[in-house]
């Protein structure tokens, strides 16, 4: 899957209502605090973040601010490019691929605990989209970290490997 494939897929997401975005905004700080507490309680957290707990905590606060902005002003290209940047940057600092499924699953749990059912149903598709596309983000960040051409990982790359 290429960056462009991810953008096409992200275009199917529906921007949440102003009410849901406002609720996310009001809960943003407490949700970031909650995810930091939950993730730091994991026995495998040091391995997953390469010992960079403060960087992880910053990531969660930045994630909450980014999502607040993205939900209010949804742009598929910004979503894709930001997630790609996060995968590249944080993996370069020792974060393991196992971190993202753990983090995103925990975000879903936190969203359920802090948002109304209506707001959760409008916001969850964005998290679900990130969850189901983790393999593509990992592959594209692998190619970047290995110095391969941008966009490596689409059908042509698959055909060349097979």
Burial 12-40 (b: 16+ CB within 10 A, else e): ebeebeeebbebbbebbeebbebbbebbe
Whose tokens are 């790609």? That residue is: 84
- Distance between CA atoms of residues 87 and 142, nearest Å: 9
Q: 42: number of CA atoms within 13 Å, CB side?
A: 20
Q: Which two tokens stand for residue 97?
A: 């691929």
Give this prediction's pTM. 0.87
Compute how many other C-beta atoms are within 10 angstroms of the C-beta atom of residue 140. Answer: 27
How do the pLDDT tens digits run along the chain, 162 residues long?
899 999 999 999 999 999 999 999 999 999 999 999 999 999 999 999 999 999 999 999 999 999 999 999 999 999 999 999 999 999 999 999 999 999 999 999 999 999 999 999 999 999 999 999 999 999 998 765 555 444 434 433 333 333
Among 145, 2, 20, which residue's Cα sits nearest to residue 80?
A: 2
């Amino acid at each position: 899957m290429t960056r462009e494939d991810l953008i096409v897929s992200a275009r199917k997401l529906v921007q949440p209502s102003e009410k849901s975005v406002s609720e996310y905004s009001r809960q943003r700080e407490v949700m970031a605090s909650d995810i930091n507490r939950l993730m730091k309680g994991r026995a495998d957290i040091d391995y997953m973040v390469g010992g960079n707990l403060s960087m992880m905590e910053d990531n969660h606060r930045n994630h909450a601010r980014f999502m607040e902005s993205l939900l209010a002003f949804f742009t598929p290209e910004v979503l894709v490019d930001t997630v790609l940047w996060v995968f590249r940057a944080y993996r370069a600092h020792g974060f393991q691929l196992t971190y993202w499924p753990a983090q995103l699953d925990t975000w879903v749990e936190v969203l359920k605990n802090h948002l109304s059912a209506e707001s959760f149903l409008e916001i969850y598709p964005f998290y679900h989209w990130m969850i189901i596309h983790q393999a593509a983000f990992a592959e594209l960040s692998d190619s970047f970290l290995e110095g391969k051409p941008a966009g490596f990982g689409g059908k042509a790359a698959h055909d060349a490997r097979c």
